[in-house]
Structure 1
């Protein structure tokens, strides 16, 4: 089945965001979105009850590298007009993660319409999948692309600034590169401040409290080769750890690695660029 997913991805990866959102809404694509619709921004999704929306927004503002807030919708609105005016956040992701009193449910949810509440407020946060094409354009190899896997993600020992009930450690994504590639990696991703920016750490994972790169907390392990240097970026899944700690009666996020693909060109995620969908 993995080979079938990979074959489908390779055949249609260059299709526009609307193609992929339709496939997700119809249940055809239930896999991570890394490498899909290159050239367009991908975003993390978080949904909380309106009573906690201001606290979550403050959490994002205080921890902007891990949770770069790009869009906040009004309560009960599932259409992200600002970044994809014909999309529906209830159906147009590969999968969702449901939290009951802070406990993430093990089964991936594929459709939120039957669960949707009028007091739910949706947030879209920047995602590092957005800058991966820019890395590839510089001749840098993306290991999880090569291996057809989700990016590995790790819970660290770096605590976020709390806001209301939202608190917890930073989560990071990891991509290995060679020592000779590091400056290009930092320069390329450093431009994309709206999608986590440059690495928060390069080198020894133990300094982040990460014990085993072959045992990620989220996503998939990737092969590490001789000469690889692990590079770590702040990750939007930080928000999901905060949801666990908040213990709200109900909350929703994207399933790790299964992002919302917008109509916004990736270059709009460079610091200083305006955020408008491509016609």
Structure 2
């Protein structure tokens, strides 16, 4: 049965994504089980978020970790302990049911991927919603910048780097970056555009020479799918909201939950509201 479920997910992931008119409509489809594929592009104009869920005993330290590392972890909202709602992001939002695929971690090890959290939710859990690059990607595409992973219908490639996050309490570990290959003129324009969106990772953290940030092979990402970097293109790297997953692997908390990479929380916030100018 589990293998059959994975086969169905694979079919869904290769299908043309359904487009929803609002974040609320997208969440309802996920909640019903009608959408189990990655969420890129499914609700144009609406902010999507990464997820990290931790026990209350670690919540204050993780909150400070987000404050210390705003590029990879731009915090959009946090829940009260045990409360699955995030009213700042959507009135009917339920963090237990509204993401297509979750990852469950125990002592830093990935132990399961599930479609909802109803059976494992606890009264001491605190949910953190972290800004996602899907928001600035929409602005890039609107400006005419072509993004290869979107054109190919794949997840953006991501790597753990040799760049370290600023520690907070027990939380520490490598920065994760996402990469988009761009021609030099488009890279310059992308810096200008993404600088307007600090709440969703902002400007790139590195351009070119992947080996200088500890990436040995662009054809083998740690997360997501590889894309070609053509001879006339530069690899452009942004801080990534998957960073908490690499931190969880380093910290090894007793229990934690994240989204599966590419399977985000669709909110009611508009991308245009996140632009600072």
TM-score range, shorter chain: over 0.9
The match for 1:111 is: 116
Gaps of 5+ in 1: 273-279
SS of residue paired to 2:163: strand
The match for 1:239 is: 244
Q: How big is each residue's C-alpha offset from its partner over 1:27-54, in whole Å with a ceiling of 9 and x where there is no partner?
A: 2322221222111111111110001100
Cα distance change, pair 19–57 in 1 and its aligned pair in 2 (3 A): same
1:223 matched to 2:228: yes
Q: How big is each residue's C-alpha offset from its partner over 1:105-149, in whole Å with a ceiling of 9 and x where there is no partner?
A: 2x4211101101011001111111111111011101111110010
1:58 Cα offset (Å): 0.8
1:177 matched to 2:178: no
The match for 2:103 is: 97
1:14 Cα offset (Å): 4.8
Identify the match of residue 123 of structure 1 among 111, 128, 131.
128
1:185 Cα offset (Å): 0.5
For residues 14 and 204 of structure 1, what CA distance do their matches in structure 2 show? 38
When structure 1 is superposed on structure 2, of 41-50 and 16-25 the one drifting more is: 16-25
Contact 2:13 2:38 in 1 (8 A): no
Contact 1:24 1:94 in 2 (8 A): yes
Identify the match of residue 208 of structure 2 among 203, 209, 216.
203
For residues 84 and 74 of structure 1, what CA distance do their matches in structure 2 show? 15
The match for 1:16 is: 22
Q: How big is each residue's C-alpha offset from its partner over 1:220-269, in whole Å with a ceiling of 9 and x where there is no partner?
A: 11122231211100001111111112211100011111110100000122
SS of residue paired to 2:80: coil
For residues 216 and 8 of structure 1, what CA distance do their matches in structure 2 show? 24
1:4 Cα offset (Å): 5.8
For residues 38 and 167 of structure 2, what CA distance do their matches in structure 1 show? 29
Cα distance change, pair 169–3 in 1 and its aligned pair in 2 (3 A): same
The match for 2:160 is: 155
Identify the match of residue 33 of structure 2 among 27, 42, 48.
27
For residues 211 and 270 of structure 1, what CA distance do their matches in structure 2 show? 34
1:37 matched to 2:66: no
For residues 114 and 185 of structure 2, what CA distance do their matches in structure 1 show? 42
1:214 matched to 2:212: no
The match for 1:165 is: 170
The match for 2:79 is: 73
Contact 1:95 1:108 in 2 (8 A): yes
SS of residue paired to 1:76: coil
The match for 1:63 is: 69
SS of residue paired to 2:193: helix
1:146 matched to 2:121: no
For residues 59 and 37 of structure 1, what CA distance do their matches in structure 2 show? 29
Instruction: Please report the RMSD computed on the Cα atoms of aligned residues, expressed in angstroms.
Output: 1.5
The match for 1:276 is: none
1:74 Cα offset (Å): 0.5
